[in-house]
């Protein structure tokens, strides 16, 4: 670890390479020493990239000091440009620490991030190439069939022995640790309750008595036997806290989330929700919340859509979207900042009972 002149070891903080911190927390030398003694060192961390160690840089003599410094500056500049472009290291660090505690998942992603696309090529790694291709697929709405054909063609164009997958399934499997968490919650078909917490193990609604599952009949020699099938109604809930963490880990997004307090024009005109009376009333009622500019102000919207177009008018699907009002008006309605938090599948619309489905979201908002 590097030393700093005029500062003690306890004043300087380093990334802790223990098996629990995974280089994600900055601690002083005493705390790092205690973690390494109690929790042991991360065995897969053989090249100290988080502690200023360069990869594949040979030891040189003093006469080559100038050349070595130039090479070091160029390599550092390339690393900064790459991190600034896709924040690959921050993404892997966030996934490794927060979302997945299993060490083998973190090590697998780290390996993919360091494996070149083919021998002798360093611009793209296996993980960065797949991530870039999947972004293009999602942005342009490519079908899985067209994406597989592209993967096969690129595999044939690249040198033999390349690490690019040829199937959409393999590409998703590599990126699956980066995916956001979601929960499937069973609901009463009459919109009475959600089968969670105290109702999690029930098979019938305690209010209306309707069954939780579809009933299937299997004919056997002794007669008809009813068996439980799939749930009659399912709600898809996407927790918002992991996505807020992913937003704040990106320096660019974190800066945008403070726009309303640092970049907004204050001229007593209603240019942004920050200038409204409601926003100011909230700041007065909760002064500690209003003092921190990083606190998120959400706007909630919900509407019905028919996923089958004009083929069926009986099936409805309600989506619940959160808008971040901390952002500038230019970014507030961008698709990347609109957070889909819930999908309430049909066939019957919830109507006035839609508040039953908001319970998981309200609990997360209260926790925040």
Average pLDDT, integer, range 107-133:
80
86-112 confidence digits (pLDDT tens): 555 555 555 544 444 444 455 666 677
Count the residues in the chain.
Answer: 368
Q: How confident is the model at residue 363 (pLDDT cuts 50, 70, 90)?
A: very high
37 belongs to a structural domain: yes
Q: Are residues 127 and 41 in the same domain?
A: no
Structural domain contains residue 7: yes
The pTM assigned to this predicted structure is 0.57
Do 354 and 238 fall within a single domain?
yes
| Within a domain: 215 | no
Is 309 inside a domain boundary?
yes
Residues 261 and 346 in one domain: yes
Residue 336 reports pLDDT greater than 60: yes
Range of the domain at 29: 1-53
Do 251 and 326 lie in one domain? The reply is: yes
Across residues 201-221, what is the average pLDDT? 79
What average pLDDT does range 52-64 have in this prediction?
Answer: 49
Residue 209 lies in a domain: no
Of 178, 199, 215, which residue is a domain's last?
178
Of the given ranges (61-65, 213-217, 271-275), which has the lowest mean pLDDT? 61-65
Single out the residue of 243, 261, 349 nearest to residue 305, CA to CA. 349
Whether residues 250 and 325 share a domain: the answer is yes
Residue 66's pLDDT is 43
95 and 9, same structural domain?
A: no
Average pLDDT over residues 289-299: 88
Whether residues 243 and 354 share a domain: the answer is: yes
The residue from 163, 178, 193 where one domain ends is 178
What pLDDT sits at residue 82?
43
> What per-residue confidence (pLDDT) applies to 99?
47
Cβ burial 263-280 (10 Å sphere, 16+ → b, else e): eeeeeeeeebbbbeeebe
Mean pLDDT of the chain: 77
Is the predicted pLDDT of residue 360 greater than 60, yes or no? yes
Residues 6+ apart with CB under 8 A from 154: 164
Q: Is 289 left (phi over 0), alpha (psi -120 to 50) or beta?
A: alpha
> What does the pLDDT read at residue 153?
92
Q: Which of residues 222 and 286 earns the better pLDDT score?
A: 286
- As given in the structure block, the two tokens for residue 42 are 């991360």
In this structure, are 332 and 256 located in the same domain? yes
- Is the domain of 25 the same as that of 108? no
- Residue range 269-283: average pLDDT? 88
Instruction: Render pLDDT for 212-256 as a digit per residue (tens, 0 to 9).
Output: 888 776 655 555 555 567 888 889 999 988 888 888 888 888 899
Give yes or no for residue 197 having a pLDDT over 70. Answer: yes
Residues 249 and 345 in one domain: yes
Q: Give the span between the Cα atoms of 250 and 243, in whole angstroms.
A: 11
Residues in contact with 59: Cβ distance below 8 Å, sequence separation at least 6, in sequence order: none
Residue 56 predicted with pLDDT over 80: no
Q: Given this model, what pLDDT does residue 289 score?
A: 87
pLDDT at 237: 92
Return the pLDDT at 68: 45
What is the average per-residue pLDDT within 325-330?
Answer: 88
Q: What percent of the chain has pLDDT over 90?
A: 7
Q: How many domains does the chain have?
A: 3
Give me the pLDDT at residue 76, please.
55
Mean pLDDT of 113-125: 82
Show which of 178, 212, 247 is a domain's final residue. 178
Please report which residue ranges of the chain form alpha helices under DSSP H: 29-39, 65-86, 88-94, 103-114, 126-140, 144-157, 168-175, 241-249, 251-256, 259-262, 277-285, 287-291, 329-332, 359-367
Contacts of 202 (CB under 8 A, 6+ apart): 195, 212
Q: Are residues 125 and 247 in the same domain?
A: no
Integer Cα distance of 42 and 23 in angstroms: 9
Do 349 and 275 fall into the same domain?
A: yes
């Amino acid at each position: 670890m590097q030393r700093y002149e005029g500062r003690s070891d306890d004043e300087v903080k380093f990334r802790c390479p223990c098996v629990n911190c995974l280089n994600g927390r900055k601690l002083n030398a005493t705390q790092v020493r205690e973690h390494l003694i109690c929790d042991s060192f991360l065995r897969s961390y053989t090249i100290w990239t988080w502690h200023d160690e360069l990869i594949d840089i040979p030891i040189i003599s003093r006469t080559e000091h100038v050349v070595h410094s130039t090479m070091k500056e160029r390599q550092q500049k390339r690393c900064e440009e790459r991190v600034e472009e896709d924040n690959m290291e921050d993404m892997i660090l966030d996934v490794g620490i927060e979302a997945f505690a299993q060490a083998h998942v973190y090590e697998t992603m780290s390996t993919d991030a360091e494996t070149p696309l083919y021998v002798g090529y360093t611009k793209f790694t296996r993980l960065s190439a797949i991530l870039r291709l999947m972004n293009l697929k999602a942005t342009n709405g490519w079908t899985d069939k067209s994406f597989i054909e592209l993967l096969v063609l690129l595999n044939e164009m690249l040198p033999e022995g390349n690490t690019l997958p040829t199937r959409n399934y393999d590409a998703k499997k590599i990126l699956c640790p980066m995916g956001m968490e979601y929960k499937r919650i069973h609901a009463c078909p009459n919109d009475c309750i959600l089968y969670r917490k105290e109702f999690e193990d029930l098979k019938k609604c305690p209010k209306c008595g309707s069954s939780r599952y579809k009933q299937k009949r299997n004919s056997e020699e002794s007669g008809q036997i009813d068996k439980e099938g799939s749930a009659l109604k399912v709600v898809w809930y996407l927790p918002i806290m992991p996505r807020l963490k992913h937003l704040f880990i990106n320096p660019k997004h974190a800066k945008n989330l403070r726009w309303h307090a640092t970049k907004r024009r204050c001229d007593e005109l209603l240019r942004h929700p920050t200038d409204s009376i409601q926003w100011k009333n909230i700041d007065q009622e909760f002064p500690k919340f209003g003092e921190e500019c990083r606190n998120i102000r959400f706007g909630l919207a919900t509407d019905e859509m028919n996923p089958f177009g004009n083929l069926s008018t009986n099936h409805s699907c309600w989506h619940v979207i959160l808008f971040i009002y901390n952002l500038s008006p230019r970014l507030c309605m961008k698709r990347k900042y609109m957070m889909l938090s819930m999908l309430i599948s049909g066939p019957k619309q919830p109507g006035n009972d839609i508040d039953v489905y908001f319970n998981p979201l309200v609990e997360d908002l209260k926790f925040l």
